[in-house]
Amino acid sequence: MRELFAVARALTALALVVAVAGRLLVYLRFWIDRGDQQLAVDVVNFFSYFTIQTSLFHAVVLVLGARALRGRRGAEPPWLGALRAAATTYTVTTGVVYNALLRQVPLEPGLEQPWANEVLHTVVPVYALVDWVFAPGRRPVPWRTVGWIVAYPVVWAATTLLRAPTVLDEGTGNPWWYPYPFLDPHASAGGYGAVALWVAVLAVAVTALASAVVGLSRAGRRGRARPASLTGPGRRFPRRGGPDRRGPRRRGR
C-alpha cells in the first residue's frame, strides 16, 4: 500500500507540473499572437491565479509525501501532515469553486485546453481526497493548523485586490486586471460590497473544509485504548532510588 501511494503521489505531482506548464505555453502563445507589449506582467498575472499557486504547492507536497512513504515506516512527520492538510484543502477548494462558479465561464478563443483544466480542477482534487482518506502514514493534525491553512487564501485575496487596480489588462484595455470575475467589482452592480460578500463566503467555506480535513485526520482518536502497563493494571514500578511505599519491612529473627 505504501509503495502504491508513493507512486500515485509522484505521478500526480508530474501531472500537475505538466498541466501548469501546458497552460503557461498556451497563454504565452495567446499573448504573443495578441501582440501584448508587457509579457512579464502577463506571466506574473498567470502565476497570480490561486489554482496555479496551489497546484505547484501541491506538487511539491506530493513529492515530499512520496519520499516519506518510501523512506520511513509509521506515521509521517508532523510538518508533512500539516502541509498535506493544507494542500488537500486548497486543491479541493479549487475543484469546488471551479466546478460551481467558473466551469460555465467561457474562455477567450485560443485559451481552451480541456485536458489541463480537468487535471487541475477535477482529477487532482478527487485524488487529493482519496489520498487523504486512504493513504497510510497519516498523522493526526492539530486543530490550530486550521488557522494557518486559512491564512494563505485570506492573504492571497487581499494582495490580489490591492494589486488588481494597478495592472493594465491588454486584452480589454481596462486599467485593472482580476484573475476571477467574482473578485472584479466592475463585473457586478454590487461593486466592492459583492466582492466582500464573495470573499467572506469563500473564507467560511475554506475554514469549514480545512476543519473537515483536520477533523478527519483525528477521527477515532477518542476512545482508543491506551497500551496496558507492563506491570498489570493498577501497578507501577517503584521509583528508582526512592522510598519503598509498601511500608517498613519486618526484620527476620
Helix axes 124-134 and 191-218, enclosed angle (nearest 10): 30
For position 235, what pLDDT does the model report? 44
Question: 10 Å Cβ neighbour count for 59?
Answer: 22
Q: Is pLDDT of 226 > 50?
A: no
Selection from 32, 18, 152 nearest residue 85 by Cα: 152
**Residue 252 belongs to a domain:** no
**Residue 182 belongs to a domain:** yes
- Gap between the terminal Cα atoms of the chain: 67
- Note whether 191 and 185 are within 8 A (CB): yes
Q: Which residues contact 96 (CB under 8 A, 6 or more apart)?
A: 125, 205, 209
For the chain, give the mean pLDDT. 88
Q: What are the pLDDT digits (tens) for 156-178? A: 999 999 999 999 999 889 999 99
Question: 10 Å Cβ neighbour count for 9?
Answer: 25
Q: Which residues contact 215 (CB under 8 A, 6 or more apart)?
A: none
**Residue 231 belongs to a domain:** no
Q: Which domain holds residue 182?
A: 2-218
Q: Is pLDDT of 239 > 60?
A: no
Q: Is pLDDT of 232 > 50?
A: no
DSSP string, 49-64: SHHHHHHHHHHHHHHH
Selection from 3, 8, 1 nearest residue 124 by Cα: 8
Scan for cell 469546488, then name that residue: 96
For position 106, what pLDDT does the model report? 85
Backbone φ and ψ for 199, nearest 5 degrees, come out as -60, -40
How far is it, in rounded angstroms, from Cα 189 to Cα 187?
7
- Note whether 119 and 126 are within 8 A (CB): no
For position 234, what pLDDT does the model report? 43
**Residue 92 belongs to a domain:** yes
Please state the domain count of the chain. 1
Q: What are the pLDDT digits (tens) for 24-36? A: 999 999 999 999 9
Grid cell in block for residue 119:
487535471
Q: Is pLDDT of 251 > 70?
A: no
Q: Is 55 exposed, middle or buried (0-12, 13-18, 19+ CB in 10 A)?
A: buried
For position 224, what pLDDT does the model report? 39
Residue 60 pLDDT class (50, 70, 90 cuts):
very high
Scan for cell 493513504, then name that residue: 135
